[in-house]
Amino acid sequence: SHAAKTLTNVVCDTDLPDQAIDLAVLPVLKTGEAEFNRDLLQQAHVRLRLGGQLIAAVDAVKDHWLLKQMQDLFEKVHCHQSQDGWVYVGKKKSDLKKQRNFDATIDFRVDDRMMKTYSRPSVFAHRSIDTAARIMIREVTIEKGANVLELGCGNGAVALAAATRSLTGNVYAVDCNTRAVQCVRRAADLGGIGNVTAIVNHDGNLSTDVQPCDLALLNPPYYGDFAIATHFVNTAIRNVCSGGKIWVVTKQADDYHDQEWHGAVFESANVIQGYDLICYR
C-alpha cells in the first residue's frame, strides 16, 4: 500500500485564507490583543463548513474571556482543562446571524486638508491617531520634495501627512505588521496619494526598497527593553543621507540621552504634551 500524501500550504497574510475549512486551530495568548483575537475567532467560524470544528486554546488557568467568546459563536462549547490553561472546542451548527466589522476609519487634519486613514485590530494605533503621532505631524517640518522614512508606521497617519507636504518626494512607511502596511496602502490609494510606498520589514535591511532619505520619523514602542528603539534609530542612520535629520517622539528621553549613536549627533529636544521630541543629525 502507498502512504497517503498530505499537502501543507504555509500562507502568511493579513487574514485567514478565504476558503471553506473543516477544522480551525487557534492558540490565544492571555496577554494578546482582545479585538485581534475576536477578529480571528470570527473569521475562523465564518470559514468553517457546517459541522466543522474550531479548537481554541489559551494559556490562562483562570480563563473566562476566551470561553465567553467561544460561547458567543457556538451553541455548545466543550471545555478541557490542563495545568497551563484551557482548550475549547465548538462545532458549527449554523452561520452567524451578524458579523462584526472590526476595521475602523480615522479622519484627521493636516494643515487645511482633511485626511482619512484606516486601522485594523493589531495595528498601532487602532481606531485613533495617538498623541505622539499628532505631535510628529504638527511639529516636524516636511519640505517640498523631501524623501521621508517612517519606521513603525502603524495606521500610517504620519507617513500620509508627510507625503501631502512633500508632494514630489518619496515617503516610505515601514512596519513589521502586514495589516499596518495594508491600511497605509488602502488609505494612499483611496486618497489619491501616489508618493507613499508601504513596506513590510522587520530586520531594517531596506537598501533595495528605499532611496536615501532627508529625514526619518520614529515613534518606537516602549516594550523590548529599548532594543526596538535602538533598532529603529540604527535603521534610520543607515537610510538617512548626510545632513539629514532623525526625529524621535518618546516618553523615555533618558534612555536616548544615555546612548552614543554611531552616525547620529544629538541636535535638540523639546517637551510637548508630556512627550520629548528629539532631533538627531
pLDDT of residue 155: 97
Question: In this predicted model, what pLDDT tens digit does every residue of 230-239 receive, in sequence order?
Answer: 999 999 999 9
Distance CA 194, CA 209 (A): 16
Whose cell is 544615555? That residue is 258
pLDDT in tens, 160-200: 999 999 999 999 999 999 999 999 999 999 999 999 999 99
Tell me phi and psi for residue 24, to 5 degrees.
-125, 135
Does residue 26 surpass a pLDDT of 90? Answer: yes
Q: What is the pLDDT of residues 33-53, one digit of tens each?
A: 999 999 999 999 999 999 999
Q: pLDDT tens digit string along 71-120?
A: 999 999 999 999 999 999 999 999 999 999 999 999 999 999 999 999 99
The C-alpha torsion from 255 through 261 and 265 to 270, rounded to 10°, is: -20
Tell whether the model's pLDDT for residue 2 goes beyond 70: no
Q: Is the peptide bond before 187 cis (omega within 30 degrees of 0)?
A: no
- The whole-angstrom separation of Cα 180 and Cα 100 is 20
User: Which tens digit of pLDDT belongs to each residue from 145-155?
Assistant: 999 999 999 99
Residue type at 83 in one-letter notation: Q
